[in-house]
Homo-oligomer: A and B are copies of this chain.
Amino acid sequence: MLVVMQRGATAEEIRGVVAAIEEMGYQARPWPGKQRTAVGLVGNDGKVDASRFEGLPGVLEIIHVTQPYRQVSREWKGENTVVRLPGGVAVGGDDVVVMAGPCSVESEAQIIAAARAVRDAGAVVLRGGAFKPRTSPYSFQGLGERGLELLAKAREETGLLIVTEAMDSEDVDLVARYADIIQVGARNMQNYSLLKRVGRAGKPALLKRGIAATITELLLAAEYILAEGNPQVILCERGLRGFDAATRFLFDLTAIPLVHKLSHLPIVADPSHGTGLRDMVIPMARAAIAAGADGLLIEVHPDPARALSDGAQSLAPDQFAELMRQARGIAEVIGRRVAEPAEVT
C-alpha cells in the first residue's frame, strides 16, 4: 500500500502517516518525489483498512499495490483448482461441463422430462430452482423442499448431477442433503452469513457474480467460502446491470479470461440470464466456450411457452441439442472437450 501525500504536505503530516503505519505494526518507507511524497507500507497482507489513512491530514490518496484477496489468487496457488464431482465429472480441467434444466422445478413430470431432454443432448448436471429469489413477493417462489425431492428423483432416473440454489444460511444444510453443487445466487453474492455456511457445508459451491460486482469483489466473496475451509468453488458470470434495455443484462464474457488470469478457480458462464433472450443464448454460449469458460449453465424447459418463470430465455430441447453440437466443435478448436454424460446402468 502506498499513501500519497498532497503537494506541499508538511514534514509533520508525513511523520503523522509514518506514525500511524508503525502503530499498526507495519514498516513505513517514505519516498520523496519531485512533486509529492509517498509513504509505502511494507508487510501489507491484505488486512490493512486503507480508510484509516485517507482521513489523515495531508493525505491525497491511497494506492493499493497488492490485491486484497489471498487464497483465491493465482499467486497463492499456481495450478488450476479442479472441482471433482461424483461420477468422475471435473470442473476446471480440460472438460467443458454443461449444466442445464429449467429455471424452477414445477412438477415431477416437468423436471423428469427436462432432465431426460438435457441428458439426451449431452448435459451432465441438471439445474433447477427449488427456492427461488423473486423481485416481487407476489411471484412464484418455488416448491421448497418438495422441489429438492423432485430433483433427487430426476438424478436417480437420469444419472445427472444436481445444482440448485440455497437462498438463506438456514437452508444450506437442507440443500446440501440433496444437491451435488450448492448454488449461491447473484443477489446473495455478498450475503456473508450464507457464504460462511456454504463454506462449512462439505459440498462444492457455484458462486454467481452479482450484477454490479467487480471481479475483485467476486473473488473476495469466494474468499469467504475458502476461508471456512471449502476450496471447491466454481465461479459463474451471469450478466451485469447495464444501461441498454434491449437485453436483460450485460453479459461480461471478458470476466472469463480475467478470472483465469487472477485466480486458480474455475469459472462457468450463464448466457440464459446473461442475455435474457432466447435468440441470444446459442451465439453467446458459443462465445463463452471460445473465451475459455469451464462450463455452461443453460435454461432448458420441455415447453418454454408454459414455464412459470423465465420462459423467454429458456431453450426448447431441440434448440439445446443444436447448441451442444456447436459447443463440441468450438471446444475442440481450443483443445478442450465437452464432458459426456455417464452411462446409466
A296 within 8 A of B: no
A254 within 8 A of B: yes
Report how far A229 CA is from B9 CA in the complex, Å.
Answer: 31
Chain B residue contacts of A274, Cβ below 8 A: 254
B66 contacts A63, CB within 8 Å? no
A143 within 8 A of B: no
Chain B residue contacts of A305, Cβ below 8 A: 20, 52, 55-56
Q: Which residue of B lies closest to A56 (CB)?
A: B305
Q: Smallest CB–CB gap between A335 and chain B, Å? A: 10
Q: Smallest CB–CB gap between A173 and chain B, Å? A: 13
Chain B residue contacts of A214, Cβ below 8 A: 243-246
Q: Which of A116-124, A155-163, A280-288, A336-344 contacts B (4 or more CB under 8 A)?
A: A280-288
Chain B residue contacts of A31, Cβ below 8 A: 29, 31, 40
The 7 closest A-B pairs by CB, nearest first: A54-B312, A212-B212, A329-B333, A168-B193, A290-B290, A286-B290, A187-B190
Interface residues of A (CB under 8 A from B): 2, 4, 7, 20, 29, 31, 33-36, 38, 40, 42-44, 46-47, 49-56, 63, 65-66, 68-70, 75, 133-140, 167-171, 187-188, 190-194, 210-212, 214-217, 220, 223-224, 227, 240-247, 250-254, 256-258, 261, 274-275, 277-280, 283-284, 286-292, 304-314, 326, 329-330, 333-334
